[in-house]
Amino acid sequence: MAATTSQIPVPSPLRMTGGPGNLATEWKRFRGQWTNYSTAAKINDEADERQAAIFLACIGADAYELYETFELEEAHRTDLTRIMAAFETHCVGEVNVVYERYVFYKRKQQNGEAFESFLAELRKLVKTCDFGAVEDSTVRDRIVMGIRDDTTRRKLLQTRKLDLKSAIDICRASESATNQLRAMTNAATTFTPSPVTRRDATGVIDATDAALEAGPAAGSRTTDLAGNVHRRRRRYATDASTAVVNTTPASRRARPTARSATLATERTTSHPSVSRRPSRPSTSSRTTPTRI
């Protein structure tokens, strides 16, 4: 039996710090852990003296000092039932129920606080309020009045026959949907497609296309750095010896002239007889008929 008992973790010591409400909550925590431990380790089968000794060994130094102040008869100092009753009176009997309920009703969900944290705090505070059979409905009411999100509160008020379980499920689902929507919105705003650059036949990046690729759609009107409005189109050098497209405004204005000269040269070479049209005679060289 001793080997089995050593493998079972003992309850955490009773913490005596904090106000009366915290002390009552802490005592209920230790009492529950002690009940589970004594059952698992089969301490209830031991003699009363041994049960009291194990209890006092687990309760901690601060709580043991408190035990020394209890006014118990010598025969009762080894009776576990009497010892636990004395701790119950000291830790729970001093709780001001009116004040504990005031603290409970004043509790609201803080800015940035998760709903699970808010719910856990309400369940902790309600233990010292002595609501009895209406404990669940009181926690439900505090959830409806204490949450920060008005949209969730509207859903709770619209639900007929709302109980504690339904209120918790609605709040959890609403908070989860809000977090998922926020994550999707942030992902959509931070996504920026990378610009597509193209290379010409010589492998040199076309600076004009690279700059315009990330701009508006083809055919839209854009404004260059000089403030001139122009149609978005690809421009290539007409000179076969030039590999890179010039992007300066002056070179762009010069391109139509060079192109026109090239076309004129091609026409002259292919049709020598029609290189130039005959000029019309001037008005001064025309002969005026003489009247008779």
Domain count of the fold of the chain: 2
- In terms of C-beta density within 10 A (0-12 exposed, 13-18 middle, 19 or more buried), how is residue 21 classed? buried
pLDDT tens string 21-33: 678 788 888 988 9
56: containing domain: 2-91
Q: What residue spans of the chain are helical by DSSP H?
A: 2-6, 20-40, 48-58, 61-68, 80-91, 97-106, 115-126, 135-146, 150-158, 164-190, 207-213, 249-270
Listed residues 142, 161, 178: the one ending a domain: 178
Listed residues 41, 69, 91: the one ending a domain: 91
Q: Which residue matches tokens 């729970």?
A: 92
DSSP state of 230: E
Per-residue pLDDT at 103? 92
User: Are 86 and 108 found together in one domain?
Assistant: no
Per-residue pLDDT at 266? 58
Answer yes or no: is 24 within a domain. Answer: yes
User: Are 68 and 145 found together in one domain?
Assistant: no
Going by pLDDT thresholds of 50, 70 and 90, the confidence category of residue 253 is low
Using alpha carbons only, give the angle 76, 2, 81 rounded to the nearest 5 degrees.
20
At position 113, the amino acid (one-letter code) is E
Does the model's pTM come out above 0.85?
Answer: no
Radius of gyration of the chain (CA): 46
pLDDT tens string 89-147: 888 776 788 988 999 999 999 999 999 999 999 998 898 888 989 999 999 999 999 99
Listed residues 178, 202, 217: the one ending a domain: 178
Pairwise CA distance, residues 67 & 87, whole Å = 8
User: Are 44 and 19 found together in one domain?
Assistant: yes
